[in-house]
């Protein structure tokens, strides 16, 4: 029997607030010693009272609006009860039936076509503590407990591991554009749980659902969903029965393993959080937040294509990072719009290569937009050649020095004086009699070889156009 895969994603993103969700402890916990960013509230001490972090609510509203969700007039927090070592209170303050955002969507790429994945809800909760397993025992670090955690839940409309990966990348890009989360999966700021099941092709009835956890990279999500989709099919093919359960992804073995039977909503015994008041949103405040939203990736991509004539590939890569797109447009403010493609080529080529090689981000680069534009102006004026510009750029990247200073110190200015070049050309021709004969015999590639020899003799500083003109003249036309 043919089966189709059905996936729904639950994405948790830590929000970039300075204090925790319900107390004043700092959220800058990643490199802090264990259990140093804690207080009686996030330690879950009896008798403590939580206070709602307004900025976390605002960031969640921003995200919900960016995902085209409806913001209801009323929301509340609930207690989600379960017993686990990382839960200090034995319950988590979350949201159940009255989330901050409802009914949005996110467009992804599916086999070259746009596909809209509906968003069920965007809600706010607190993160849990972190367990550090050490062989026969586990340690609990409470620093993470209480960090504002925003959960975005999709409808089960994703059909493949590839679509799931694209959905996650698109969602993370939006969160970074909004400035509400770092979106780093490596440090746990952006985490994903996947609900995956299969059904007979054409059927509406899903078989037992499996929740997959412990995926800490886009690659892990992709591989885990690929594996689980095949595993479920294999179970049925061998006459087995699928059960509703939670499975964990083991990266080193590239398999999912059963962890526990899957809980149902009733198991959590949700009820309204008695220590927190419900929230009633002022519509004027919602509209003010909406007015402050930045231009989002998809809209910016379309504008860059229309405004600057960039191809789809360039616009897509540039707008995948707000910092990269900002850098691109800041360069264009210092030069003319017709330089858009040239600047894009530099950003997607040499610039990205060096950023990747040094594991750095463009917002931390030593090369300001003004320094890059100055380098391009030197090329336009014929002061340096294209190959020389690449060498100069690399020195700029590591030193932060101006292109003009590097060119002056290294005596890299392009040699365009015909009188000076004429002597070098004659010397190269005298040393390469065979190439000269080949050219005169009609082999055009010999001209390329001779040009290369001249560039080598001048350390790449000779003006190629002037060199070619002198060569053709010395070789008797051509």
Tokens of 478: 């051509």
Inside any domain, residue 234 = yes
Inside any domain, residue 317 = no
- CATH number of the domain that residue 428 is part of: 1.10.10.410
Inside any domain, residue 144 = yes
Checking if the pLDDT of 478 tops 60, the result is: no
DSSP assignment of 55-97 equals: HHHHHHHHHHHHTT-B--SEE--EEEE---TT-SSSEEEE-SS
Inside any domain, residue 299 = no
Last residue of a domain, one of 245, 268, 286: 286
Of 68-77, 238-247, 299-308, the poorest mean pLDDT is in 238-247
Place of tokens 């229309």: 306
Last residue of a domain, one of 256, 286, 316: 286
Domain count, the chain: 2
451 burial class (0-12, 13-18, 19+ CB within 10 angstroms)? middle
Q: Say if strands 91-94 and 78-81 run parallel, antiparallel, or are unpaired.
A: antiparallel
Q: CB under 8 Å to 329, separation ≥6 — which residues?
A: none
Inside any domain, residue 466 = yes
Q: How confident is the model at residue 229 (pLDDT cuts 50, 70, 90)?
A: very high
Which ranges in 292-410 belong to alpha helices (H)? 297-308, 312-318, 322-332, 340-346, 352-357, 369-380, 386-399, 403-410
Task: Give the residue numbers spanning the domain of 440.
Answer: 418-474
Tokens of 342: 């040239």
Q: How confident is the model at residue 283 (pLDDT cuts 50, 70, 90)?
A: very high
How many other CB atoms sit within 10 Å of the CB of residue 79?
A: 20
Place of tokens 């919900």: 64
Q: How confident is the model at residue 263 (pLDDT cuts 50, 70, 90)?
A: low
* Residues forming a β-bridge with 362: none
Measured torsion, CA atoms of residues 157, 160, 166, 170, in degrees rounded to the nearest 10: 20
Which among 141, 109, 105, 147 has a CA at the least distance from the CA of 122? 105
Give the torsion sign (CA, 313, 315, 317, 320): negative
Q: Where are the beta strands (DSSP E) in 167-278?
A: 190-200, 210-215, 245-250, 255-261, 271-272
424 and 282 both lie in a single domain = no
Checking if the pLDDT of 410 tops 70, the result is: yes
Inside any domain, residue 387 = no
Inside any domain, residue 344 = no
Q: Read off the pLDDT of residues 359-383 as tens digits, 9 standing for 90 and up.
A: 999 999 999 999 999 999 999 988 8
Last residue of a domain, one of 286, 317, 352: 286
Mean pLDDT of the chain: 93
DSSP, res 295: P
**Pairwise CA distance, residues 24 & 34, whole Å:** 17
How many other CB atoms sit within 10 Å of the CB of residue 469?
A: 14
Angle (deg, nearest 10), helices 369-380 and 322-332: 50
Q: Read off the pLDDT of residues 381-404 as tens digits, 9 standing for 90 and up.
A: 888 888 889 999 999 999 999 999
Inside any domain, residue 320 = no
């Amino acid at each position: 029997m043919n089966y189709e895969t059905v996936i729904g994603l639950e994405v948790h993103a830590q929000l970039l607030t300075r204090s925790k969700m319900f107390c004043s402890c700092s959220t800058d916990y990643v490199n802090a010693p264990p259990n140093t960013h804690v207080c009686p509230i996030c330690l879950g001490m009896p008798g403590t009272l939580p206070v709602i972090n307004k900025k976390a609510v605002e960031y969640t509203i921003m995200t919900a609006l960016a995902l085209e969700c409806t913001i209801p007039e009323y929301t509340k927090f609930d207690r989600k009860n379960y017993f686990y070592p990382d839960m200090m209170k034995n319950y988590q303050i979350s949201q159940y039936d009255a989330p901050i955002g409802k009914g949005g969507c996110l467009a992804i790429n599916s086999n070259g076509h746009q596909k809209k994945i509906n968003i069920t809800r965007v809600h706010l909760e607190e993160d849990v503590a972190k367990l550090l397993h050490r062989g026969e025992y586990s340690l609990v670090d409470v620093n993470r407990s209480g960090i504002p955690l925003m959960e975005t839940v999709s409808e089960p409309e994703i059909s493949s591991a590839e679509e799931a990966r694209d959905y996650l990348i698109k969602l993370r890009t939006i969160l970074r554009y909004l400035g509400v989360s770092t979106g780093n999966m490596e440090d746990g700021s952006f985490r994903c749980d996947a609900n995956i099941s299969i059904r007979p092709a054409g059927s509406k009835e899903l078989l037992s659902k499996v929740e997959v956890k412990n995926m800490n990279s886009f690659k892990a999500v992709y591989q885990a969903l690929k594996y689980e989709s095949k595993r479920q099919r294999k179970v049925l093919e061998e006459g087995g029965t699928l059960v509703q359960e939670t499975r964990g992804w083991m990266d080193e073995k590239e398999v999912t393993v059963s962890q526990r039977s899957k809980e149902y909503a009733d198991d959590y015994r949700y009820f309204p959080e008695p220590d927190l008041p419900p929230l009633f949103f002022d519509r004027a405040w919602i509209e003010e937040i909406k007015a402050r939203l930045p231009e989002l990736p998809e809209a910016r991509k379309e504008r860059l294509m229309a405004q600057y004539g960039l191809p789809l590939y360039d616009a897509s890569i540039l707008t995948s990072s707000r910092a990269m797109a900002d850098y691109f447009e800041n360069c264009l403010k210092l030069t003319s719009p017709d330089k858009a493609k040239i600047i894009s080529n530099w950003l997607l080529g040499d610039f990205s290569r060096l950023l990747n090689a040094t594991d750095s981000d463009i917002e931390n680069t030593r090369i300001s937009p003004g320094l890059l534009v100055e380098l391009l102006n030197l090329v336009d004026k014929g002061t340096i050649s294209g190959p020389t510009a690449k060498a100069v750029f690399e020195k700029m990247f590591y030193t932060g020095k101006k292109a003009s200073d590097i060119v002056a110190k290294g005596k890299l200015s392009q040699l365009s004086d015909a009188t000076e070049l004429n002597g070098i050309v004659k010397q190269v021709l005298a040393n390469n009699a065979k190439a000269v004969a080949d050219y005169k015999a009609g082999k055009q590639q010999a001209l390329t070889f001779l040009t290369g020899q001249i560039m080598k003799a001048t350390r790449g500083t000779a003006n190629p156009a002037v060199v070619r003109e002198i060569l053709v003249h010395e070789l008797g036309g051509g």
